[in-house]
Structure 1
Amino acid sequence: MKIYTGTGDRGKTSLFSGERVSKSSPRIEAYGDLDELNSVIGAVAASLDPGDEALTDEIRNIQTMLLAAGAWLATTPGAASTRFLKPFTMHPAESLEGAIDRMNAVLPELKHFVVPGGHLSASLAHMARTVCRRTERRVIELVDHEDGESGPSETMKHILVFLNRLSDYFFVLARFCNHSRGQADVLWKG
C-alpha cells in the first residue's frame, strides 16, 4: 500500500466525516497541533528509564486518549460518522487529576517559578506542556470559529478540560522526572 495518494497536493484534505477542507482550516490546525503534541509525548515516553514501566504505560494511555480526541476534532459536529466515535467524557481529565496528585505528593513544595530544564525527560515534559497549551488555544479557536455564541458541545468541553489538565500533568511530570532522578528543578530567582 502506498503512503502517498496525491489527493492533498492542492492544499485540501479529508476529514473523518468525509468533507474536503483546506489544510489551513481551524479544524485541521487544531488536530494538527494535537498530533504534534502526541509526537512530543512519544519523545517523553522514549526518554524514560527502562524501569519506569508504570509511568510509560500511563503516558501511552494519554496518547490513546489524544487519538480519541483527535478523532472528534477530525469530524464535523453533527456528522453521521460521530456515531462511530467513542464518547469523550470527563474520565480522561479525572484520570489525569489522580496522576497529578500521586506525583505531586512526593515533590518538594514549590516556592519559585520553574525554568524548563533538568533531566532530558523533564525537559521534554516541559516541551509537551507548552505544545499542549498551544493545542488548547487552537481547539478554543476552533470552538469559537464554529460554535460562536452557542459555546462548545459537551464533547468539546470535555476535550478542553482534558487538554487543560494535561498541561498541568506535564508540568508536574517534569518536576517528578527531575526529582526521581535526584536532580533539582531549575528555579527562577528573578
Structure 2
Amino acid sequence: MGAFTFSKRGDQGETSLLTGERVSKASLRPQAYGTLDEASSALGLSKVFTQNENIRQMISAVQEDLVMVGAELSCEGSVDEKCMVGPDKIGRLEQWIQELQQDVPLPRCFVYPGGNPCSASADLARTIIRRAERNVVALQEADGHVRPELQAYLNRLADLLFTLARYAEKKA
C-alpha cells in the first residue's frame, strides 16, 4: 500500500486560496466555491443515473465550468481570462435551455422533484447552485471582487438545471 500524506494545514479551520493566502474555512470565498463543489457532486449523481448521452455531455461541460468558476472565486479574480466563464458559456446555457424546452415544454404548475433519480439529483444540484448564487452575491456585497458574468452564469445555470430536470423526467 502506498504512503499517505496529510498536510494538516486545515486542522485549525483555515484553508488556502489559489493565491496562497490563508483564510477561515467559514469565510465567504470558501463558502462560495465549496458550494459549487457540492453542486458538481449532485450533478455527478445525475450523470450516473442516466443513459441519455445528451444529458451526460451537458453535465460534464457544466462540471468543467464549475471548476473554472471555483478557481476564479478562490483567487479573487486574478485567474487567466481564458479560464473564466464569460458570455460564450452563458450563451451556451441559454441555447441548451431553448433546445430542451423545444423537446420537453415546461409544466405550468409547481413541480415536486423526484420524477426519477436523474431528475431529482438535477433538481438537488439546482437548489445548491441557488445557494452558491446567494453566497456569491454576499461575497460581491462584502468585497466587490466578483465579475457580473460569473453571477449571470450561476443564475442561468440554475435555470438550465430546472429545465434539464424536467427533460430528464421524460428522457433520462
Structure 2 residue aligned with 1:166: 157
Structure 2 residue aligned with 1:60: 60
8 Å CA contact 1:72–1:85 kept in 2: the answer is: no
TM-score, normalised with respect to structure 2: 0.91
Structure 1 residue aligned with 2:170: 179
8 Å CA contact 1:11–1:22 kept in 2: the answer is: yes
Structure 2 residue aligned with 1:188: none
TM-score, normalised with respect to structure 1: 0.83
CA distance in 2, matches of 1:88, 1:57: 18
8 Å CA contact 2:106–2:163 kept in 1: the answer is: no
8 Å CA contact 1:26–1:138 kept in 2: the answer is: yes
8 Å CA contact 2:85–2:153 kept in 1: the answer is: no
User: Structure 2: 5+ residue runs without aligned partners?
Assistant: none
Q: Equivalent residues in 2 for 1:67-82 (5 A)?
A: 67-77=67-77, 79=78, 82=79
Q: Equivalent residues in 2 for 1:115-134 (5 A)?
A: 115-134=112-131
8 Å CA contact 2:69–2:150 kept in 1: the answer is: yes
Residues 106-115 or 93-102, more deviating: 106-115
In structure 2, give the amino acid aligned to 1:174.
Answer: A
How far off is 1:87 after superposition? 3.3
How far off is 1:89 after superposition? 1.2
In structure 1, give the amino acid aligned to 2:163.
Answer: V
Structure 2 residue aligned with 1:187: none
- Percent identity reads 34
| Structure showing greater Rg | 1
Structure 2 residue aligned with 1:184: none
CA 85–32 in structure 1, closer or farther in 2 if over 3 Å, else same: farther
In structure 1, give the amino acid aligned to 2:28.
Answer: P
How many residue pairs align between the two structures?
A: 170
CA 111–76 in structure 1, closer or farther in 2 if over 3 Å, else same: closer
How far off is 1:54 after superposition? 2.8
- String of CA shifts for 1:83-113, please: whole Å, max 9, x gaps: 4862331111110111110110022452211
CA distance in 2, matches of 1:64, 1:129: 16
CA distance in 2, matches of 1:22, 1:85: 28
8 Å CA contact 2:106–2:166 kept in 1: the answer is: no
2:111 counterpart of 1:114:
yes
2:98 counterpart of 1:91:
no
Residues 105-114 or 121-130, more deviating: 105-114
Runs of 4+ in 1 over 4 A off after TM superposition: none
CA distance in 2, matches of 1:98, 1:3: 44
> RMSD between aligned alpha carbons?
1.8
How far off is 1:36 after superposition? 0.7
